[in-house]
Amino acid sequence: MKRPRLRQIKPLLTPIDTRTVKPFNTRSYKARLQADPSLKFYSTAAWQQFRSAVIAERGRRCETCSATPDTVYLDHIEELRDGGAPLDRSNVQVLCGSCHQKKSIRARMVRFGLV
């Protein structure tokens, strides 16, 4: 006896995004690069070497909360787009993802005069 075939029924409703504040960094790299040409700096060999050297010296520990995640960020204390020195050891800190995100959002709010 032949079994009846099951068909996928197309949903009648499609989900919509009702969020008024869109999630952080959802644009493509190309779109973000267009909005902020200083992003290109992060793919240079000079930055990659500097980043590796500083993280090796200081260890993979967040300088804000002391977490030791697998992935750490070398953060510019004064951001490049705010005129911070790109390869100055006194202008960088090792941060975990959470602290880096919080710090970046805060810097953005200050830049746009929201705080």
Q: Is 64 in the site for Zn ion (CB under 5 A)?
A: yes
Q: Which window, 31-39, 59-67, 70-78, 106-114, contacts Zn ion (CB under 5 A)?
A: 59-67
User: Which regions of the chain does DSSP assign to beta strands (E)?
Assistant: 72-76, 92-96
Nearest alpha carbon to residue 103 among 88, 93, 113: 93
- Is residue 75 a contact partner of residue 103, using CB atoms and an 8 Å limit? yes
Smallest separation (angstroms) from Zn ion to the CB of 113: 26
Q: Is 96 in the site for Zn ion (CB under 5 A)?
A: yes
Q: Which window, 26-34, 41-49, 64-72, 82-90, contacts Zn ion (CB under 5 A)?
A: 64-72
Say how far apart CA 52 and CA 38 lie, in whole Å.
19
Q: Which one of 94, 99, 103, 107 is in contact with Zn ion (CB under 5 A)?
A: 99
Q: Which residues bind Zn ion (CB under 5 A)?
A: 62, 64-65, 67, 96, 99
